[in-house]
Every structure is written in C-alpha cells, then in structure tokens.
C-alpha cells in the first residue's frame, strides 16, 4: 500500500505535468519523489519578465502535513524577500503552511511575490543572514513583517 506521501506527490506531479500553471514547468522529479526541480518564468509585465529561475523542493516523509523545503538554485532573483543563498522568506513555507496547499499553489505564490515587486533589491539583512544561515531555510526562525512585496 502506498503511503500518503507517495500518493499525494504522485498525484501532484501528474497534475502539474498535465496542466501546469503559466510559466511553471517540472524540470525534474526524482524516482523517489523526495526532490523536485521546477522552472519558474517571470510573468509578463513584471520586473522579472523573461527571466527564468529554478526552484528546488525537498519533501520530508511527513509531507503534506509538513511543508517542503523550497529554495532557489542556480540564478537567484534579486528580491526583498529572497536571500542571495536562495532562501525564501514566505510565510506559507513555514508557520502558515497548510496541507491544503500544493506544489502548484506554492509556485504560484512565489511567482506572485516576484510579480508584485516594485524594485529589484536584496533583503536589508541579506549579508548577515547568508553568513549565519543554516543549510535549510526551515531551520530559520522567520519574522514576517512586510507583505507588500
């Protein structure tokens, strides 16, 4: 009998490959489903139009009850809520996670966060954070105080 983890991720992968949201494509999903790479295109009419980024999703065995680890790999967008090491400050990835969220909805939230930026700039504490950050952003205690970008 397949686990909840396997059933859920298999369904999400099938749905994402069959009808991906605009600008979101599954690049790779490992045989064990524990690590995915998803390509995200900057939306038209935004600061990131034409730019392509890669998100890495790592799933623990408690998914979907527990959020995946999500980071940008390769080219990292310059954005007030994205650190230069690829860590993303977005509440739904941490304390506002819900098992009702899907990989598709997480990607759309990140794409929306990029789309709402009014200028390309790093978080004000980028250098200090990157120097002291753990490998996983899930090991960070995030303070969410600005939802305007």
Catalytic residue among 24, 89, 93, 103: 89
The secondary structure of residue 95, as a DSSP letter, is T
- Cα torsion angle, 23, 28, 31, 35, sign: negative
- Rounded (10°) CA dihedral 8, 83, 40, 38: -40
Residue 84 and residue 91: Cα distance in Å, rounded? 18
Residue 35 annotated to the active site: no
How far is residue 107's CA from residue 88's CA, in Å, rounded to a whole number?
Answer: 12
Residue positions annotated with a catalytic role = 89
């Amino acid at each position: 009998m397949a686990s909840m983890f396997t059933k859920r991720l298999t369904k999400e992968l099938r749905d994402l490959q069959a009808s991906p949201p605009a600008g979101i494509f599954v690049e790779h999903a490992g045989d064990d489903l524990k690590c995915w790479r998803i390509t995200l295109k900057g939306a038209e009419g935004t600061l990131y139009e034409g730019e392509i980024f890669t998100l890495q999703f790592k799933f623990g065995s408690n998914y979907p009850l527990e959020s995946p680890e999500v980071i940008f790999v390769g080219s990292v967008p310059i954005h007030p809520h994205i650190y230069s090491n690829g860590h993303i400050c977005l509440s739904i990835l941490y304390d506002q996670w819900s098992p009702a969220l899907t990989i598709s909805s997480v990607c759309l939230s990140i794409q929306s966060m990029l789309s709402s930026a009014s200028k390309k700039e790093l978080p004000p504490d980028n250098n200090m954070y990157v120097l002291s950050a753990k490998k996983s952003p899930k090991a960070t205690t995030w303070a969410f105080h600005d939802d305007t970008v």
